[in-house]
Chain A
């Protein structure tokens, strides 16, 4: 009797807009959870879902091929009955008809919709951004162009000293290119890391041949006699064979906003990754999500966040209990440096440095007034990262004195 009534239900349909790390993963998690309905995954790019982090690192240096980038082998989508629409742009979400309309006019109906549209590179505010010599790095196609341009001896000007800029600078040096980084702020990583970390990476990169122009803005990129020249605000002209712009990302929230979903620099979601429409979820870089650990709503551009939200949405759609909440974390590889960051430096009363930056191995802890670690930035310091991440998640009270002493094990800093 029960079986008959289940069979009588129409098979639920899940449609995912965006075939990046978040979209590709949620499709896989739905099947892992036993979701038996149809899954349609719609992506604007031509490749199957792939990992973006290696594009500025291992892939750029030729250490990882296209297959290694793929999130899942092509066969996976067939075996798991995940219908892929690649090279396909979605034009609109019709919430009353529960329907998604694609650019070619085709429509697809959903019972649950997942918006995983990601973020796009922020456009640089200078003249000449449409010149072919000016590149950005977001997609595999962008990375392909960048790789072709980064020949030994090529003069690369990188606009923006954030993670993308510094990772590409390190890879470009490894490939034998000349690199100048132009950063508007007085230090690299100004918006995303503490001053100690900025100083460390400034020294580390400088010692490996990267030149910096700090506190400088680009006014324009011009072609002069067939060669590109980057003009800075102090009048300096930098000759360039390629210009990479890495000045941040903006969430692709327009589709959601036009459908009337609430957005605020990111599609607003709850801890089930649900938007204000109960049939629509949003996950990954395009969202602004609650972070109970910090009592705030934040937009996190990271793979771990995309995976966490993919698990939240997959659990909710399958009526399973919500997954355990995670401490946000990030990583970056530059030259032979492994940077691992856990938590966010919010509500910080004190900063504690453990280890010696001059020895290329240290960690910066950001501690609240009630002696809880809020964030840790660890440079070649795995125990500090691993234990720090756990202490942040546990809201454990710690001893600042013990934390500061690298001779005391990280296992003994909690009170």
Chain B
């Protein structure tokens, strides 16, 4: 079972068990991680599940899709390692993944 570490806006690290097939967003919601709002429930319609993928993992997560790229282009405080966590699929190889949550999703 892969483990994912979320770093919340106040710097707190929380490591949780994730399920293969879930998205990183679903993992956060299921574990009550603050700061990932996911207003649209994973329909890639709101950009309220924005995370920063730790650099060493940037090339190991699945690639950015067109819709996601378009949403991210206009999200708040976008960095080169920005992703929408609803589009990040959990697989065994992501065991140890670290993502940071921005201060605000709105």
Q: Tally the A-B contacts, defined by beta carbons under 8 Å.
A: 56
Residues from chain B with Cβ under 8 Å of A47 in the complex? none
Q: Which one of A154-162, A178-186, A290-298, A382-390 contacts B?
A: A382-390
- CB-CB contacts of A48-83 with B at 8 A, as 1s and 0s? 000101100000000000000001110010001000
Q: List, in ascending order, chain A residues with CB within 8 A of B74's CB.
A: 382-383, 386-387, 390, 410-411
Which of A51, A53, A71, A331 has the most chain B CB atoms inside 10 A of its CB? A331
A303-B39, A324-B106, A331-B43 known, 9 other contacts, Cβ within 8 Å: A28-B32, A72-B30, A80-B32, A303-B40, A304-B39, A324-B104, A338-B67, A382-B70, A386-B70
> For residue A303, which residues in chain B have a CB less than 8 angstroms away from its CB?
39-41
- Residues of B in contact (CB 8 Å), total 21
- Chain B interface, >50% SS class: loop
Q: Which 4 A-B pairs have the closest CB atoms?
A: A386-B74, A382-B70, A331-B45, A32-B34
Distance (whole angstroms) from the CB of A358 to the closest CB of chain B = 21
A340 CB within 8 Å of chain B: yes
User: Quick check: is B61 within 8 A (CB to CB) of the other chain?
Assistant: no
Looking at the complex, which one of A72, A76, A80, A386 makes contact with B47 (CB distance below 8 Å)?
A: A386
Instruction: Mark each residue of chain A from 398 to 415: 1 if its CB lies under 8 Å from any CB of chain B, else 0.
Output: 000000000000110000
- The docked-state distance in angstroms from the alpha carbon of A386 to that of B43 is 15
Chain B residues with CB under 8 Å of A285's CB are none
Is there contact, CB below 8 Å, between A307 and B32? no
Alpha-carbon gap, A268 to B58, bound state (A)? 47
Tell me which residues across on chain B come within 8 A of A387, comparing CB atoms: 74
Is A362 located at the chain interface by the 8 A CB criterion? no
Select A73's contact among B30, B67, B106, beta carbons within 8 Å.
B30
The one of A76, A324, A382, A410 in contact with B67, judged by C-beta atoms closer than 8 angstroms, is: A382
Which size class do A's interface residues fall under?
20 to 34
Q: Is B75 an interface residue (CB 8 A)?
A: yes
By the criterion CB–CB under 8 Å, are A331 and B32 in contact? no
Whether the Cβ atoms of B30 and A54 lie closer than 8 Å is no
Task: Report A-chain residues with C-beta under 8 Å of the C-beta of B29.
Answer: 71-72
28 A-B residue pairings within 8 Å (CB atoms): A32-B32, A32-B34, A53-B41, A53-B43, A72-B30, A72-B32, A303-B41, A304-B39, A304-B40, A304-B46, A307-B37, A324-B104, A324-B106, A326-B106, A331-B46, A338-B45, A340-B45, A382-B70, A382-B74, A383-B73, A383-B74, A386-B47, A386-B71, A386-B73, A386-B74, A386-B75, A390-B74, A410-B74
